[in-house]
């Protein structure tokens, strides 16, 4: 039994405060700026014309009252008082048409904003893929049976967490009663810092041991036999990645407390059935689609190939410091300049701290991003939510 003290709930939590900041953010869209620019231009033009008319009237000696009446009519006619209303009605009609296509619009200006997007950055997991992991044939070391690798990973999983990886691992058990007789003690859930789960288990024979599953490099770093099995593990991980599989390292520690690496579990997340056609349609409309992922380069390359996005993959390591918005702008300009086209942005690291608003102000484009579902990758750096959703006001059901 683990005791826990709840010290914050709802809006007082870290995620609650983040949600409040997102809801409270007031940004002026490109469409609103365009309307304001048109209005300001007409107002300035009206003022210049009125000043010119008054000057000529005084010069010619025309009646001041008649001149002021003419200037008032010109001012009223020149200022587009009804333009915001007409535009709102037009966008409301557009929102009604989008509602028929099962799209909810929470801000009307988002319709025109999204229509002007030049570059669309899409998260891979859950957006371009189905976020339904399936377990492949595991790789084991030291002639350990594959069933033991899956069993150890299953003991380090919990079905009630409703985690995609845990459900995939538990689904890989050939016998539903395989976990019967094992008593789970302390369970440490996955977190993006340690990148693994860990469970203290007591077996049917009464012996206590620990199991862990997570990023292969993390599980390998725990193992006492890391130097011995590392070449084989690296080869297996690379082979799985080349086939589009994610890798999950599994290790076990017996009574002596020393971790022993058991093997690697491959997990496959197939692309959505309509993703390839959607990307092709977006390209025909002049929208450049980029894939953002925290997975390994080989996995990104294989997924991009299946989606018809090419194989030109970029690693964030080639961009130097990723702690400021400047890197974000350089990344976009690498696509718009004279260099070869960037097909994807990959392995974004701590990209989430970049402000897309600053990049938008300096880059001559309208950048949109979409991220749905959840990125549960054990080996991932959990950066699938890295890009700020610029046009999150349009939600596809």
Catalytic residues: 123
Share in percent of the chain as helix, strand, coil (round to 5):
45, 20, 35
- For 75-81, which contacts have Cβ atoms below 8 Å and span 24 or more sequence positions? 75/46, 75/50, 78/42, 78/43, 78/45, 78/46, 78/49, 79/39, 79/42, 79/43, 79/46, 80/38, 80/39, 80/42
d(CA 169, CA 172): 5
How far is the CA of 109 from the CAs of 28, 38, 41, 88, 117, in angstroms?
Answer: 9, 16, 21, 8, 13
Q: How many other CB atoms are there within 10 angstroms of residue 231's CB atom?
A: 9
Residues 218 and 195 sit within 8 Å (Cβ to Cβ): yes
Both tokens assigned to 302: 């294989």
Identify the sign of the CA torsion 362, 368, 372, 377.
negative
Give the orientation angle of helix 30-60 with respect to helix 64-78, to 10 degrees. Answer: 170
Residues 282 and 301 sit within 8 Å (Cβ to Cβ): no
């Amino acid at each position: 039994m683990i005791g826990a003290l709840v010290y914050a709930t709802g809006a007082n939590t870290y995620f609650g405060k983040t949600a409040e900041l997102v809801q409270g953010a007031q940004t002026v869209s490109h469409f609103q700026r365009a309307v304001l620019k048109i209005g300001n231009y007409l107002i300035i033009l009206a003022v210049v014309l009125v000043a010119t008319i008054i000057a000529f009237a005084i010069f010619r000696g025309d009646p001041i009252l008649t001149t002021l009446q003419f200037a008032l009519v010109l001012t009223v006619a020149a200022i587009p008082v009804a333009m915001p209303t007409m535009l709102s009605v037009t966008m409301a009609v557009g929102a009604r048409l989008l509602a028929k296509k099962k799209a909810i619009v929470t801000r009307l200006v988002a319709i025109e904003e999204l229509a002007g997007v030049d570059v669309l950055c899409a998260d891979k997991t859950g957006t371009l893929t189905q976020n339904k992991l399936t377990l492949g044939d595991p790789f084991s070391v030291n002639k350990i049976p594959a069933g033991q690798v899956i069993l150890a990973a299953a003991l380090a999983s919990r079905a009630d967490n409703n985690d995609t990886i845990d459900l995939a691992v538990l689904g890989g058990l050939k016998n539903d009663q395989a976990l019967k007789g094992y008593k789970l003690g302390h369970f440490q859930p996955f977190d993006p810092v340690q990148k693994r789960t860990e469970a203290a288990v007591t077996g049917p024979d009464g012996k206590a041991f620990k199991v862990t599953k997570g990023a292969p490099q993390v599980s390998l770093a725990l193992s006492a036999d890391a130097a011995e099995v590392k070449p084989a593990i690296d080869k297996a991980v690379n082979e799985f990645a080349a086939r589009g599989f994610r890798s999950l390292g599994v290790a076990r520690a017996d009574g002596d407390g020393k971790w022993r690496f058991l093997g690697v579990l491959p997990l496959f997340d197939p692309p959505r059935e309509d993703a390839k056609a959607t990307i092709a349609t977006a390209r025909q409309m002049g929208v450049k689609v980029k894939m953002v992922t925290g997975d390994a380069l080989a996995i990104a390359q294989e997924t991009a190939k299946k989606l018809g996005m090419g194989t030109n993959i970029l690693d964030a390591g080639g961009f130097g410091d990723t702690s400021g918005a400047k890197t974000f702008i350089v990344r976009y300009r690498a696509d718009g300049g004279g260099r070869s086209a960037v097909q994807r942005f990959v392995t974004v690291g701590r990209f989430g701290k970049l402000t897309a608003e600053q990049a938008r102000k300096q880059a001559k484009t309208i950048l949109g991003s979409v991220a749905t579902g959840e990125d549960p990758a054990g080996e991932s750096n959990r950066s699938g939510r890295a890009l700020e959703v610029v046009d999150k006001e349009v939600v596809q059901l």
